[in-house]
Amino acid sequence: MTDTPTPVYKFARAAGDNTTATTTYTVESGDTLLKIATTKGFNSGVCQIAALNAIPDPSFISVGQVLQIPLNVAEPDNTSCVKNKTSSFIPDPTETVAPDTVAPDGTVEHTVVKGETLAIISKQFNSGICDIAKLNNLTNPDQIEVGQVLKVPINVANPDDSSCLP
């Protein structure tokens, strides 16, 4: 058995500063490590946050969890610690969403981040492109905006990826 080397991360520092600046953040409903790393103003990376907090699977964080966040990461890493690397951050679609983030109607609220499409989001939550589009009254599933909050059905038995497409 070979040991996997521990990644070495480079953090931006002021001249002469030998410390890595960090802050704390409490996970809110709808958060992912990617959202926290890229849209909260921390300039951090998924894998740096996961490493600093000893999170074995960055796909799963809990609402209310308090995280240490490294600030101003020189080279943010959003992929090396992710199991399924087909996109910048897609959890294994066979795994389920943590129960504390699921609404009684079997949906989660998801805030769109840069680079996401309905296809990426649907794989993340084991849903269908058209299931998400219909639930959110999207006339064009190719037009979603960064920051847009979508209601996403999770673990759909028969995901619909085509009925809403031309």
pLDDT, residue 20, reads 66
Q: What is the pLDDT of residue 12?
A: 41
CATH of domain 99-153: 3.10.350.10
pLDDT of residue 82: 72
DSSP states of 28-84: -TT--HHHHHHHSS----HHHHHHHTT-S-TT---TT-EEEEE-SBSS--SSTT-S-
Given a cut of 70, the residues of the chain with pLDDT beneath it are: 1-20, 83-101
pTM (2 d.p.): 0.45
- 126-146 pLDDT, tens per residue? 889 999 999 999 999 889 988
Start-end of CATH 3.10.350.10 domains in the chain:
1-90, 99-153
pLDDT at 83: 64
**CATH of the domain spanning 1-90, picked from 3.10.350.10, 3.20.20.70, 1.20.120.530, 3.40.50.300:** 3.10.350.10
